[in-house]
Amino acid sequence: MDLFHRQLDKADYDAIWRDTSQDMRATGSKQRFVEMLTAIHTKLGKVKKSEQTGWRTNIDTSGSFAELTMQTTFEKGTGAEHFVFRNTDAGQKLAGYHINSTDMTLR
């Protein structure tokens, strides 16, 4: 998450997109992904603190995945982030990202 958050803070959305798996790319376009990240960064600001609140692994016929839940404090609010990573020969690739933030929806 540290790398993701550093890239988010620098608005380096292209770098985040480059590290996504085909799972993420199949759910929407790069443009929509960048729009979502831009909204998060604009409305909540830079990451101040992020703590892991949960994790699990899953292996099924479609592959091996790791899921992490983080409680993150930004400059302008908080949010619960959910990351899904696909385990590949090239390392973990971001397969899903969701954020639940009342602060973001109110801005």
Secondary structure (3-state) at 75: coil
Supply the CATH classification number for the domain 2-106: 3.10.450.590
Residue extents of the structural domains in the chain: 2-106
Strands of the sheet containing 63-74, edge to edge, are: 47-60, 63-74, 77-88, 91-100
What are the residues facing 56 on neighbouring strands? 67
Dump pLDDT digits (tens) for 14-47. 999 999 999 999 999 999 999 999 999 999 999 9
pLDDT > 70 in the chain, percent: 100
